[in-house]
Amino acid sequence: MFNLPLDDRADLHPLEPWQAPEFLAHMDRARDGVDPWIPWASLSTDLASATATLQRYADRLAEDSGRVYGIRLDGTLVGGVMFTRFDSASGVCEVGCWAEPAGEGRGLVTRACRALIDWAFRERGMSRVEWWVASGNARSIAVARRLGMTREGVLRRRYPHRGERQDSEVWSVLAEEWPPAGDGSGGGARPAASADRAQPAPDGQEATVAVRVELDRLMGEFVGAFTNTGGRRPDLGVLRDLFVPQGRIIANVGPEPVIYDLDAFIEPRQKMLTDGTLTEFSEREVSARTEIFGSVAHRFSEYRKSGYHNGTWFEGSGCKTTQFLRTPEGWRMASLAWDDTP
């Protein structure tokens, strides 16, 4: 059976009607988080209705009008992605996603969506991939941004949910905006300015500008991953997309440096940012100096941060030093070290 690795613990695979018991158990775990955004929670409440949900997508697969795939983490179904609509005649399709809490925070949904979009453009010749999302679904909107999609507009009060009319946002990415094969982006759309980062201009200036844009993006996504203001749920799993797998993050704020690998850094901070320990938190880069030499780069940044820690407001600042490498998958962070201002 088709199986696409997403990382060393997770994979993407088709979901079929015979897997309804597994799908139902997963939906029971995901119900509270999924119900406000997609109808599967209310449509899949017992074995018969769960089977019917998967059968509808099996029928769409036979008609080449839709597909659904599950994400397994350590062998357990924790989420999925789908082509909600797939119209090869018009060259337009729509991608969607969902996850239970165990599937959040690792970047799995983003990587799975990239795989679907890459296939739609490269194998099927689609012209446009859409992403329809409720305006209040901050996690789904964050995925659309990470995929390089453009927000095209809002359809106000488009549909009812539990007696209230909901707004829908429309995001999209076009085939010409998706990176060409082998550009090192890993299948995620990038701003046009960074698309040619591996093709130096004769005087090197255009290539240098493109690299700076890409490094700005990496740092912006790193800093933004921690934000939980206004009810936003942070997703530190995106850090695995920003760093090389062997990346290191170093806190040098005490008498001795503390050196983390990605898992050791992400897991406790994801917990603090979602269990009420750290609320209304944001961090912003206020100045930066970047140096680039061939396939390596360095950035020295000043930052400020603020939020509530266990209900007490705080503000802080400090400096970061970040090293970047150009890899076969594109520019990635290799290490980041920081020290807070006393």
| 127-152 pLDDT tens trace | 999 999 988 787 788 888 888 888 89
295 occurs within a structural domain:
yes
Does residue 165 sit in the same domain as residue 31? yes
Does residue 158 sit in the same domain as residue 222? no
187 occurs within a structural domain:
no
Look at the chain and report how many structural domains it folds into. 2
147 occurs within a structural domain:
yes
pLDDT by position in tens, the chain (length 342): 578 888 888 999 999 999 999 999 999 998 888 876 777 777 888 999 999 999 999 999 999 999 999 999 999 999 999 999 999 999 999 999 999 988 887 788 988 999 999 999 999 999 999 999 988 787 788 888 888 888 898 888 887 766 778 788 999 999 988 865 434 343 433 322 222 223 333 344 445 677 887 888 888 889 888 988 877 788 898 899 899 999 999 999 988 999 999 999 999 999 999 999 999 998 888 888 999 999 999 999 999 999 999 999 999 999 999 999 999 878 999 999 999 998
Does residue 164 sit in the same domain as residue 53? yes
113 occurs within a structural domain:
yes
Q: Which domain holds residue 241?
A: 192-340
The pTM assigned to this predicted structure is 0.58
Say which residue the tokens 């955004």 belong to: 37
Does residue 104 sit in the same domain as residue 243? no
Who contacts 225 (Cβ-Cβ below 8 Å, separation ≥6)? 234, 235, 236, 238, 239
* Predicted pLDDT of residue 137: 80
Does residue 170 sit in the same domain as residue 214? no
Does residue 301 sit in the same domain as residue 199? yes
Who contacts 67 (Cβ-Cβ below 8 Å, separation ≥6)? 14, 57, 60, 61, 82, 83, 86
184 occurs within a structural domain:
no
What does the chain come to in residues? 342
Tokens of 214: 């890409």
Who contacts 269 (Cβ-Cβ below 8 Å, separation ≥6)? 226, 236
Does residue 333 sit in the same domain as residue 245? yes
Does residue 42 sit in the same domain as residue 137? yes
Give per-residue pLDDT as tens, 241-293. Answer: 899 999 999 999 988 999 999 999 999 999 999 999 999 998 888 888 999 99
Q: What is the b/e burial string over 49-88, where b = at least 16 CB atoms within 10 angstroms of the residue's CB?
A: ebbebbeebbebbeeebbbbbbbbbeeebbbbbbbbbbee
How far apart (Å, rounded) are the C-alpha atoms in residues 114 and 110? 6
Does residue 156 sit in the same domain as residue 241? no
> For residue 35, what is the domain's CATH number?
3.40.630.30
Which of helix, strand or coil describes residue 35?
coil
* Predicted pLDDT of residue 180: 52
199 occurs within a structural domain:
yes
* Predicted pLDDT of residue 189: 34
Does residue 221 sit in the same domain as residue 300? yes
Residue spans of beta strands (DSSP E) within the chain: 4-5, 10-14, 67-73, 76-87, 92-99, 128-134, 150-161, 164-174, 243-251, 258-260, 278-293, 296-309, 312-327, 330-340
Does residue 254 sit in the same domain as residue 288? yes
* Predicted pLDDT of residue 167: 85
Does residue 18 sit in the same domain as residue 84? yes
A 10 A CB-CB count for 141 gives 19
Of residues 158, 102, 162, 170, the one with CA closest to residue 130: 170
* Predicted pLDDT of residue 160: 78
183 occurs within a structural domain:
no
> For residue 221, what is the domain's CATH number?
3.10.450.50
97 occurs within a structural domain:
yes
- Domain ends where: 133, 150, 177? 177
